[in-house]
Structure 1
Amino acid sequence: MSIVTQTDKRTGITYAYDTTYYWDKEKRQSRSKRICVGKIDPETGDIVPTRGRAKKGSKSASGKPAKTGPKPFVETRHLYYGATYLLNEFANELGLAADLRQCFPETYKQLLSVAFYLILEDNNPLYRFEKWHLTHKHPYGESITSPRSSELFASITDDQVNKLFRLQGRRRVEDEYWAYDSTSISSYSETLAQIQYGKNKEDDQLPQLNLLLVFGEESGIPFYYRKLAGNIPDSKTVKHLLEDLDILGFGKTKFVMDRGFYSESNINGLYRDHIKFLVGTKLSLKFIKKHLDEVYDDIRMFVNFDESINTYGYTVSAQWEYTQERPYKGDVIKDKRRMYIHYYYSIENGADDEQAFDKRIASLCKELSEGKYVESHKKAYDQFFEVKTTPKRGRQVYYKEDAIKEARRYFGYFALITNEKMDAFTALHLYRMKDVVEKAFGNLKERLNMRRLLVSSEKGLDGKIFTEFVALILISHLDHKMKKSDLYKNYTLHQLLDELDVIECFEDANHSLRIGELLNKQAKIYEALGVKVPTSSC
């Protein structure tokens, strides 16, 4: 048994409860029984019995029966503290705790505690928070049952979320590129409106929700997300992204996006709004292939080679055929805008592509020769082969050598377009920095248990995604710091958190917080991450 205190928000009175914890075999979770033993005296901290709990016949100083009751009980607890301390320090360092307090004055501690749980208890469902609370020190300091977490998620409003976007965005927005990308999250739900069948990026045969994220390219931290129906392609989202960021008050921005976001209307929109961009494109686009053919023989020269990445790079200045429809005037503006195309040739990618292509051609030829047609291969048959049948020689399959040479010509090449002047390898470095988003998607699905959505209401879904976003801010900051300090040489992210999670703290009502034994390697982790080593305050 132990004494647990809880403050009534309506009256401000703090009550003390005699609490007994037990394991419910049917529900397979920790439960508790509580009996109120009195209220806490704000001056002395003693437990004063409430009415009906005083011993009969006892007198107080005023001559009235004294409300004596059980003697004050001081609870001492040993709790794991090292990892939650680290995450709490990060929340303060990033201004996340302050911003959450401003947006969610009543529930910010609960949000932080749930975010900490999601990070530290990867793949564990949220209903196990009750058990985790018994062993860990966290900002809220009290248990959050499954019904209470559902209420917490449902209480989160769009206004509060947008306010946090503004506050966090202002802390991140500097002269840097923003990486923008999307992922698909599968769901078994049949009641959520945005769960639709679409192009699943993991070839999952389930309906899905699409989630879009914006990351600071230098900070490696997300500051904006948006969910949308699973059947909407990436190329349709840029216009609304720009509108959202304008509403949120962000000024001129710079975007890094992969080729899934390329479309003429998107590029025109970026030019129209005077936004700097760096976008991947397909080589099959006419203007990309035209300029590549003009400089094809110049690219693979030793002066354009970077041996550190085994890649050739070459930049071409070009003109973009800009158009802008003006419905309010009933006309279309046409103009030319400066664009830079960066071409690259990767030796490894080129060799791999050629080998894979040759194997495919051989396989297609065998199918044709043996008459084992595959309907989905018909386009490739027509492109690369000619089949003739004569009474004397039977079926003969011939290669279309010109078509095969044309296909092989561009293996190993890729291109980026931008409206900001820079050299080819600076552009490539910036583009590859968007891998931070891919890493974040991996953390969301694996570390934060979002590979499958397990909610049944729209409000529950919105709140769950927001809380996952808060957790993602913290885990992305940890990942960024581990890379900068070379900690990945000795630890995975999971191992580092486990290494710190075993550090204990000791708390009771009559003493300041005390920290348990700390190993040298644990202290070095805090120092490498730029976090003050936790010390006892007694």
Structure 2
Amino acid sequence: CLRVGTYFVLRKIIEECSLNDILGKYFGSRDMGLFLDLAVYSIIAENNAAQYYPDYTYNHPLFTEKMKQYSDSTVSDFLNSVTDDQSTGFLNTWNESRNYREKIYISYDSTNKNCQAGDIKMVEFGHPKVDMGEPVFNYAVAYDTHNQEPLFYEKYPGSLNDISQLQFMLDKASGYGYKKIGFILDRGCFSCENIQYMDKCGYSFVIMVKGMSALVNELILENKGTFENKRVNNIYEYGVYGKTIRHKLYASDKKERYFHLYHSISKESAERIEIENRINQMTQYLKKYQNKVKEFGPGFEKYFNLHYDEKSQAFILPEERCSVVERELDLAGYFCIVTSEKMSAKEAIELYKSRDVSEKLFRGDKSYLGNKSIRVYSEESARAKIFVEFVAMIVRCKMYIKLKEEMKKLDKKLNYMTVSAAIKELEKIEMVRQLDNIYRLDHAVTA
């Protein structure tokens, strides 16, 4: 029997995006079919391991000519044969069909992946978000928040950080023809040099800054009490109150930026509880070492004056630095979004929240496309798998957007309207070949 439901949905999405036409320019018919099969396999099976691909082909329709099944060794040879010219050509064609005259905001996000393969040059020891003690490589995607689709991707050595890579990404965006664009960035991309470079290129930006940051905490304390209870400042869609002020981003900044200050009651409650629990835990830890010789790190010195016996150097008692703790409590529940263009606090948070889809892409990439590990041992295969992964991300993203749009039409929230749940439902649609060699539905489609 064949599980046909998901195949037909994904094939429809692939045709709507013209992915088969674009890939057909750079691959032969056999290779293009196999490429699409690998992308769809990673979406349906939530796996990218080549050794399990043959099992998938036994009960799923394929894009290859006459639905020919290929072994895992053939898949491995195919991945080794994919060239940079093919991936670069695809990205050029994928981006050249965009409407460059409309203003779009690109959400730029990056992640890193652990890898132990010794033959991949871009794998280096760096600064991973979750340090497993292994070398990593970095992977970033630029996502168009207006048209809701990934635009291009980057892969770069694990030792490079987001700040140093950003300017190269800006140049790539310009190379693809994007002029009237802004960038939605996370805190990891912030630096004076990057801000100046975006100004030089004529790009606008949206950057999130935490309320505890030294950059904005003075502004928050100065404006505290002026907007948190004013109904005119209420942004009910996001459960916050907001206010916009103009200020320079750093001392030598030549322009005044727009600082959008926000306060959330629920966020304040959660952060105050977290601060109180942290201080209580630190106090209990310190008391365990009273009258003992022990050194404590700068994390403790930030919140406590630590008293030691002059002769024995034994730790005597901790004295809480009340002003430091009270300052953090005063800043609980606040955050700030900085924009280079004039806009309201509501417009700024709507723009930044549009970044959520790109963040879900990365979570989905590792969780639902099976790409937490790359599972290859050569540079060529690694580059090819990242390419396949990006195309799979485009298709899965389109499916996510279609489900999201359908959810807006419904009065109630249904459990099967997520991508993973929808795929499981679609996988129930099976066709069985009978004695006359004709495939027929095995059973009626579920509600």
Query: Shorter-chain TM-score category?
Result: 0.7 to 0.9
Map 1:153-302 → 2, pairs under 5 A: 153-171=79-97, 174-283=102-211, 287-302=215-230
1:384 match:
304
Contact 1:280 1:416 in 2 (8 A): yes
- CA gap of 1:495–1:403, structure 2 versus 1, over 3 A, is closer
Contact 1:119 1:475 in 2 (8 A): yes
CA distance in 2: counterparts of 1:343 and 1:311, whole angstroms: 10
Q: Which runs of 5+ in 1 are unaligned?
A: 1-77, 324-334, 523-538
Deviation larger for 400-409 or 263-272: 400-409
CA distance in 2: counterparts of 1:150 and 1:157, whole angstroms: 14
- CA gap of 1:388–1:139, structure 2 versus 1, over 3 A, is closer
SS of 1:336's equivalent in the other structure is coil
Residue number among 240, 243, 247 corresponding to 1:314 in the alignment: 243
- Structure 1 residue 402 and structure 2 residue 334: aligned? no
2:19 match:
96
Summarize deviations over 1:285-344 as a string: whole Å, max 9, x none: 555334333322313232323344331211112245697xxxxxxxxxxx7224111111
Summarize deviations over 1:83-130 as a string: whole Å, max 9, x none: 111111100111211111123244222211111111111236222222
Contact 1:196 1:209 in 2 (8 A): yes
2:385 match:
464
- CA gap of 1:308–1:132, structure 2 versus 1, over 3 A, is closer
SS of 2:331's equivalent in the other structure is coil
- Structure 1 residue 142 and structure 2 residue 68: aligned? yes
Contact 1:162 1:248 in 2 (8 A): no
Deviation larger for 145-154 or 474-483: 145-154
1:123 match:
47
Q: Give 1:267's aligned amino acid.
A: I
- CA gap of 1:156–1:209, structure 2 versus 1, over 3 A, is same
- CA gap of 1:190–1:485, structure 2 versus 1, over 3 A, is same
SS of 2:243's equivalent in the other structure is strand
Q: Which fold has the larger relative contact order, with Cα–Cα distance below 8 Å and residues 6 or more apart in sequence?
A: 2
Contact 2:304 2:320 in 1 (8 A): yes
Deviation larger for 168-177 or 128-137: 168-177
Summarize deviations over 1:500-534 as a string: whole Å, max 9, x none: 234345789x99x8652674546xxxxxxxxxxxx
Q: Which has the larger radius of gyration?
A: 1
Contact 1:268 1:322 in 2 (8 A): no
CA distance in 2: counterparts of 1:519 and 1:422, whole angstroms: 52
Q: Which runs of 5+ in 2 are unaligned?
A: none
CA distance in 2: counterparts of 1:307 and 1:85, whole angstroms: 40
Contact 1:90 1:474 in 2 (8 A): yes
Contact 1:185 1:451 in 2 (8 A): yes
Contact 2:111 2:140 in 1 (8 A): yes
Contact 2:207 2:339 in 1 (8 A): yes
CA distance in 1: counterparts of 2:56 and 2:320, whole angstroms: 66
Number of positions where the alignment pairs a residue of Structure 1 with one of Structure 2: 430
Residue 382 (structure 1) shift? 5.0
Deviation larger for 207-216 or 289-298: 289-298
CA distance in 2: counterparts of 1:376 and 1:480, whole angstroms: 50
Summarize deviations over 1:153-211 as a string: whole Å, max 9, x none: 22222222222222222445543311110111111223322222223223433221111
TM-score, normalised with respect to structure 2: 0.87
Summarize deviations over 1:16-43 as a string: whole Å, max 9, x none: xxxxxxxxxxxxxxxxxxxxxxxxxxxx
Residue 252 (structure 1) shift? 2.5
Q: Give 1:402's aligned amino acid.
A: S
Residue 267 (structure 1) shift? 0.9
TM-score, normalised with respect to structure 1: 0.73
